[in-house]
Amino acid sequence: MPRGRYSLHDPHDHTPLGEEHFHCATGPSGWRYVSQLTTPSGDGGGGAGGEPAGSVDLTLDALGRPLRLQLHAGNWQVRGGALDGVTWVRTDPTGEHATEGNVPAHAFTGTSPAFAVALSRMLRLAPGEGAKRVRLVAFTAPVLAPRTLDQSWALVDRTAHPTDNGPLTVDEYRVDDLQTGERHTLHIAGDVVLSAPGIELEDLDSPPSTFV
């Protein structure tokens, strides 16, 4: 069960956005990722982080579909899952402003590295295979407002790196935003994001889990 810490920053101007302390685990029925987010510590030294800022709880089924999603950010929360596409409820603490949504999309996305791992698991691309187009519903802090977007994912390289615990297979993905034309690269090993725009893996206490 890998445990670790990501630092998050704005991918354009590199403004620190905080840290995400996570643990995740694979199993015969899928994968679960749980994390707590903190605000930037303000000390500039990669400390323990600031105040609690939210949380992520994502469970996938054996096919990589979002069986259950729970997000908290500020005073808002989202609960969702794969149902007739993806379905969710977004609400404030009182429930007065609760709204429901449904989109014929493949999965959810957002700033958490969990979403990149989840989508790579769902697509199960092979190196050299053509790019696949996916429709996603994004939720971003601080208000978790939903936004539908289209991306194209391609697995451009798969490399085995020797380690003390055996070979570590790293997948390099090319991701295109089909609305803006923006392109970026992700590096994922098992169920851990090694690098991505706005994401840095700072600590990891055990090797990434391998999906069967």
Whether the per-residue pLDDT at 189 is higher than 90: the answer is yes
Quick one: which of 35, 82, 81 has its CA closest to 55?
A: 35
Quick one: which of 96, 95, 153, 150 has its CA closest to 123?
A: 153
Task: Name the residue with tokens 């725009």.
Answer: 197
Q: How far is CA 4 from the centre of its chain?
A: 14
Top pLDDT among 43 and 201 is at 201
pLDDT of residue 45: 39
Percent of the chain scoring above 70 in pLDDT:
96
Mean of the per-residue pLDDT values of the chain: 92
Structure tokens at 164: 């003390």
pLDDT of residue 1: 83
pLDDT of residue 163: 85
pTM, 2 dp: 0.92
pLDDT of residue 49: 54
Strands 192-196, 199-204: pairing is antiparallel
In contact, 147 and 105? CB cutoff 8 Å? no
For residues 113 and 204, what is the distance between their CA atoms, to the nearest angstrom?
14
